[in-house]
Structure 1
Amino acid sequence: MTTTAHLGANGTGPTAGDPGGAREPGVRGPLGGLVWLVRRQHRLFFGLLLAAAAGGAVWCAVLRGRAAAFIDAHHIDGCSMISLVARCDGTQDAVVEFRNTYGPALQLAEAGLLLLPVLIGLFLGAPLIARELEAGTHKLVLTQSVGPLRWLAAKTALPALVVLAVTTALSAVFAWLWQVVGDEVSGSYWYSTLDFAALGPVPVAYSLLALAVGVLAGLLLRRTVLTMGVTLGAMVLLQVALKQLRPYLMPSGSTEFGPKESAQLPDNAWLVGQGYYTRSGDHLPMEVCDSAGDQESCLRSHDVVGQYMDHHPASHHWPLAWIESGIVLALTAVLTVLAFRVMRRRHG
């Protein structure tokens, strides 16, 4: 007659069926077995993420090499469609050809990194816990040696590590590509919605946030499809809200132009506001005299002496990116803590 070994109530001691307390070699521990299970359950999505990282790296490397060769051959580094730089005279046709050739590929890469956090939230974060709760398979695990908090930690830790590694790699490779093709020559500037969302720590932070949103929504809603819809809506809302907040994350600079000066900023400066300034230094909105019949008389009556432009220079790019990413990661931490509190309250 044979006996079957079972773990005790706390998962560490032997039971009557295992009087010696010995574990057969090669048998996984409770938590290690759960991590293995998480990897098995999501191996398809993990594989797709890793394949996207590898494929994206190769594609960006090839695109960077070809774009750099074109720029060098046509001497258009730092040149734009309308450039005030003397060495860029006569390069407009080459710049147009460059944008037509490499612009679509660059925009595709930017759009992919913008959408990546949403896809992670939809297909990894949302079903990660909701599917278990909906099917009831979590009950089997929670009746074994793994407690609810350790179960949640094991379920989220491995996906978070994979997401962190993949998004960091993709963001770094894209930044390497953007060093060659970004700004003037491609007309793709750091402050655009696509570029800002694809560069530096921003896609990494939003991807981790999407995972946290999906996990918390799954714990609360316990329905996979409903959780996916809520995760999608929440991520779109958060991205739009933070985009509106972005210009105010740090003070912008202001440049004043006299009455005989051309009011023009560098192409890589992000214009966030403009208007008129008076002799006393007051700033008036650009629309102050729109309804006036005689605009010149209206401006003289307000004692206007020139125009001003509020802007973020290119040097503000990385501070803005890190500030926004810090806000997103702080929100991610809050949602993660809430998820563990919900898990403790519902399952002890």
Structure 2
Amino acid sequence: MTTASLTPPATRTARRPLLPGAHRTVLRLHRTTLWTALGLVVLATAVTGYLHLAAQGRPGLITFLGVSNEDDLLFTYMERGAVALLLVPLLVAAFTAGPVVARELEAGLHQFAWTQADAPARWLSARLTVAAALAVAAGLAVLGVFWLGGSGLVHAQGSLSWSHSTVYTVTGPVVVAYCLLAVAVGALAGLLLRRTLLAMSAASAVTGGVLWLLSSVRWDLVPARTLTDSSARAREAWVPGGIPDDVRIVDMGVSNAAGDRFQPGQCLSWAGPGKNDYSCPADTHVVQAWVDFRPRSHFWYVQLIESGIVLTLAAATAYAAFWVLRRRTP
């Protein structure tokens, strides 16, 4: 008997699946919703790209439809689209709260999973992991779609201003952070309420409430810059010279030697019936004009600070979800 005959045949190494079984189960259960979401992303990308090319003068269907101004059409589309894209975190919260968590608890499907190989913590971890990955993909899709069509339309002023709440949210990393927060809020709402529709409504409302609350205070996270001008022309016009381009004007006015600030309309002198003179009285002793503004760089400072706050809230909410699961698991 030869040595070769004693050698056992080479065994074929089993190929490991890309995802664990629990994660594949979540994707398989919600494949219809995921394919629908992917189709909407492809449709939004195609329409946005088409309108962007049309605004650059490329001939196409828009010309045959009789649209005379492609730039206005793209601007209106992106203005309305920013509002629609702002709803993505709310949809992520509703999807996680309802179909992913609450529906299984309401129907009792979780008991079957817990009696198999999946422990309760692993069951929730699989759903949070898959939902978080999909949330990141949704946030990146929002960024890609908006920048595809609106990157050249965003300025300091107007309805597509970079400081506007809707445009600000869908043009920076903060939208990804809000999508991750939506996953954590949805999981917690599903565990607490255990009713599909109720959990979806509560998760969307809480996510929207956090977004609204932070949007009302976000520009207080970084102090505005101040530009002063003591020239006679600036004091008469109430506007300093040399204001940089693409900045968000917060406030402006004049100040005296003591540092007291006067805004337009605060120190009016009588100039006759029906006339207002915006020059201050002589005893005001105006020495300079000032303007508070925010440069474009503040957009990224605020984005990073707000993203850190939102991610911290997401981590705390996810921890609370696991705590609730442990408390309610016999």
CA RMSD of aligned residues (A): 3.1
Aligned to 1:209: 181
- 8 Å contact kept, 1:113–1:203: no
Aligned to 1:3: none
For 2:236, what is the secondary structure of its paired residue? coil
Q: Write the deviation string for residues 287-324 of structure 1: whole angstroms up to 9, x where unpaired.
A: 6447x878779654443344422221112222222221
- Deviation, structure 1 residue 200: 1.9
Q: Write the deviation string for residues 29-72 of structure 1: whole angstroms up to 9, x where unpaired.
A: xx9332222112221221122223322332332222222348xx
> Any residues of structure 2 matched to 1:323-334 within 5 Å, and which?
323-334=305-316
Are 2:245 and 1:260 aligned? no
- 8 Å contact kept, 1:126–1:218: yes
Aligned to 2:77: 105
Are 2:228 and 1:226 aligned? no
CA distance in 2, matches of 1:279, 1:308: 13
- Deviation, structure 1 residue 284: 4.3
Are 2:254 and 1:272 aligned? no
Aligned to 1:115: 87
Q: TM-score scaled to structure 1, two decimals?
A: 0.74
- Deviation, structure 1 residue 243: 0.8
Q: Write the deviation string for residues 147-191 of structure 1: whole angstroms up to 9, x where unpaired.
A: 111010011111211221232133134224333233279862211
- Deviation, structure 1 residue 205: 1.3
Aligned to 1:45: 33
Gaps of 5+ in 2: 1-13, 59-67, 272-276
Q: Give 1:325's aligned amino acid.
A: S
Q: Write the deviation string for residues 182-240 of structure 1: whole angstroms up to 9, x where unpaired.
A: 32798622111221011021221111111211111111122222212212221221111
- Deviation, structure 1 residue 26: 10
- 8 Å contact kept, 1:190–1:268: no
Aligned to 1:192: 164
Q: More deviation in 55-64 or 237-246?
A: 55-64
Are 2:260 and 1:282 aligned? yes
Q: Give 2:323's aligned amino acid.
A: R
For 1:180, what is the secondary structure of its paired residue? coil
> Any residues of structure 2 matched to 1:1-348 within 5 Å, and which?
32-69=20-57, 97=69, 100-183=72-155, 188-257=160-229, 258-261=234-237, 263=239, 268-284=246-262, 288-289=266-267, 300-347=282-329
For 1:119, what is the secondary structure of its paired residue? helix
- 8 Å contact kept, 1:68–1:181: no
Q: Identity across aligned pairs (percent)?
A: 32
State the number of aligned residues: 296
Aligned to 2:11: none
CA distance in 2, matches of 1:102, 1:266: 27
CA distance in 2, matches of 1:237, 1:283: 35
Q: TM-score scaled to structure 2, two decimals?
A: 0.78
- 8 Å contact kept, 2:238–2:289: no
Q: More deviation in 168-177 or 109-118?
A: 168-177
Q: Give 1:344's aligned amino acid.
A: R
CA distance in 2, matches of 1:190, 1:213: 28
- 8 Å contact kept, 2:238–2:290: no
Q: Give 1:55's aligned amino acid.
A: L
CA distance in 1, matches of 2:113, 2:106: 14
CA distance in 1, matches of 2:262, 2:278: 15
CA distance in 2, matches of 1:186, 1:61: 23
CA distance in 2, matches of 1:201, 1:26: 36
Gaps of 5+ in 1: 1-24, 71-95
- 8 Å contact kept, 2:156–2:248: no
- Deviation, structure 1 residue 247: 1.0
Q: Give 2:246's aligned amino acid.
A: N
Sort the Cα spacing of 1:126 and 1:282 in 2 relative to 1 into closer, same or farther, 3 A: farther
- 8 Å contact kept, 2:52–2:149: yes
- 8 Å contact kept, 1:64–1:180: no
Q: Write the deviation string for residues 91-112 of structure 1: whole angstroms up to 9, x where unpaired.
A: xxxxx94653322211132122
Q: More deviation in 164-173 or 231-240?
A: 164-173
